[in-house]
Amino acid sequence: MNIHAVVLAAGKGTRMNSSLYKVMHPLCGKPMIEHVVDALVPLALRNLVVIVGHGAEAVKEQLGNRVQYALQKEQLGTAHALWMSSGILGEQEGVTIVLNGDTPLVQSETLQELLDCHQAKQAAATVLTAVVDNPTGYGRIIRDENGAVRKIVEEKDATLGQKKVNEISTGIFCFDNRKLFATLPHVSNENAQGEYYLPDVLALLQEQGELVAASVAADAEEGAGVNDRVQLAYMEQLMRKRINERHMRRGVTMVDPNATYIDSTVTIGRDTVLYPGTVLLGQTRIGEGCQIGPHAQVKDMNIEDYTRVPPFSAFDGNRHTDRALAYAGAATSGQSYEQK
């Protein structure tokens, strides 16, 4: 079976109040859009299309030829954005995953579960949902009396009763590709925003007698998007926690995980100890049995096994501060270490 994916990344993101294109804002060492693309790669996709608009050149420079691109010149809604990929995907067989470029916490395993659910139920469309305490701002999942998904109602179009529903759409979908592109031209923009909403495809498919299924995400945060700097900071906090826990499970000791900052691109050997205030950035590689900090920053460096990076030091590539020396031998100090 052919698997395709479309990442919707054409929005400007005005609430970020920034000259930087929204999906290009960094999160733990990489732009948001790159986290999303990295989550899709393990699915062995036949086509991966990124819908670009504002800031298209920045996205293309970042992702290069790893993906294909389609341009949405006018921002007329998510269904309209997806239709921009019809020249690439419109005649393809298989299934298509659709997700937003500002959902950096989504994981490959969750997307695979969505695919598995879609195939097992032989659905025309499957939506990834989540149950949350505060559904404000999200599309609500409206089910029928049998528990099947009837439709998704956006916040601005929801009634008071619908706003009380706490099962939300994550904005991540899986579609039968042929049925998706046959239905998209029939989506209407008769709503409060005058936009073409992708979730309306579900209702149209049901009118045709097609099955719309749902896969409930174990972690509601995976589908959360970023609309402003407050949400960006919150996402970074969640991702740092995930990164730190992964390293600790692999044998790294953190004296205070809440005061340890590690980019997603960093690798660390087992039995290394990270003291409070450690900041590891970029393409840093830390060997086994090292001691880092407290209050040490290392960026784009290879630190050999059993090296001690002393407190209040900073290393950046081949450069380091005059006060900073790294000492070989975390267990037995003595020899100075020079970056090669």
- Give the full edge-to-edge strand order of the sheet including 335-337: 253-254, 273-274, 291-292, 307-309, 326-328, 335-337
For 133, counting Cβ atoms within 10 Å of its Cβ (0-12 exposed, 13-18 middle, 19+ buried), the class is: exposed
Residues linked to residue 286 through DSSP beta bridges, in sequence order: 268, 303
Closest CA to 309 of 265, 270, 279, 267: 279
Q: Out of 15, 250, 270, 319, which one is annotated catalytic?
A: 15
Residues with Cβ within 8 Å of residue 186, at least 6 apart in sequence: 204
User: How many C-beta atoms lie closer than 10 Å to residue 328's C-beta?
Assistant: 18
Long-range contacts of 302-308 (CB under 8 A, 24+ apart): 302/339, 302/340, 304/328, 304/337, 305/269, 306/330, 306/331, 307/337, 308/333
Q: Are 70 and 87 in contact (CB under 8 A)?
A: yes
- Token pair in block for residue 83: 């239709």
Q: Are 24 and 62 in contact (CB under 8 A)?
A: yes
For 14, counting Cβ atoms within 10 Å of its Cβ (0-12 exposed, 13-18 middle, 19+ buried), the class is: exposed
- Is 143 catalytic? The answer is no
Q: Which residues are catalytic?
A: 15
